[in-house]
Structure 1
């Protein structure tokens, strides 16, 4: 989770690659979403912050497709300097084990990924997310696939 001003300064320096602009907001805009219900999480490699994501605990209240008792994954990205090394795939594969104990009252995680971003969709699917076969049409950059990851041990 995001802690302290020094960490905030490092996070504020994160950037997406040019081909991801439009799929992920600039980090300054992402950080404006932090609240008691929306938690920032840093992705670290050794002592370097290489990425970031938000967990939205109120996601099911804001999106009809999200089941009650679920959380939302938003604004997930790896900094442009660390892309192309498989870190996104590694992190998505670790998400279930990271989120389940940190959000024990939630049984699943939902996210949307733009239909024009098949590489990101593939990355999430490699991490265990499943396409619900429904589309979300409320995004600013076109239709989005709705993906779900079960956190509950019995639903894996």
Structure 2
């Protein structure tokens, strides 16, 4: 698996990316962050590619909303993490998260932490993040779909 910053070359794969209604309860489609990234250079859409297939999509936000979750000015926010439903349960999310530490350090050399918010009802995502090294913080934020736990991954 490769993690890459989104470029127009991936637009055909994005157009085929599929999320179910159940997934959309907890995440968003790639279209909105892609649009936001055109006018906001702190939003970095990332694609997970395996065998020329787009298996995962997420955003690394270096400024826009980081302060909502952490006081650390060197933190990067992971958001909109998803797996195309056709590839769920095949280990692609685990692979993408395993690569995330080194990928983030290359993209943001001064970053020392990745933070995320995960819905309290999304137990499978919480489990995945914990198995990938994220640690729950003592912070809960209100999200569009209800309360969310804030989690952190050290880049040190």
Name the CA distance, whole Å, in 2 between partners of 1:106 and 1:81: 33
- CA apart distance, 1:29: 2.4
Aligned to 1:148: 152
Q: Which protein, 1 or 2, shows the higher relative CO under an 8 Å CA cutoff with sep ≥ 6?
A: 2
* Cα offset, 1:61, TM superposition: 5.2
1:124 aligns with 2:122: no
User: Shift of the alpha carbon at 1:9?
Assistant: 2.5
TM-score, length of structure 2 as denominator length: 0.88
1:38 alignment counterpart: 43
1:127 Cα offset (Å): 1.1
* 2:108 aligns with one of 98, 103, 109: 103
Q: Counterparts of 2:20 and 2:87 in 1: how far apart (Å)?
A: 10
Instruction: Say whether the 8 Å CA contact 1:66–1:110 is kept in structure 2.
Output: no
- 1:24 is paired with a residue whose SS is coil
- 1:18 aligns to 2:35 (yes or no): no
- CA distance, structure 1, for counterparts of residue 84 and residue 69 of structure 2: 31
How far did 1:59 drift?
A: 4.5
Q: Which deviates the most, 79-88 or 16-25?
A: 16-25
Residues 25-34 or 72-81, more deviating: 25-34
> Is the partner of 1:32 in helix, strand or coil?
helix
- When the two chains are superposed, the root-mean-square deviation of aligned CA atoms in Å is 1.6
Q: Counting strand residues as a fraction of each chain, which structure ranks higher? A: 2
Report the count of equivalent residues.
150
Q: Show structure 1 runs of 4+ deviating over 4 A.
A: none
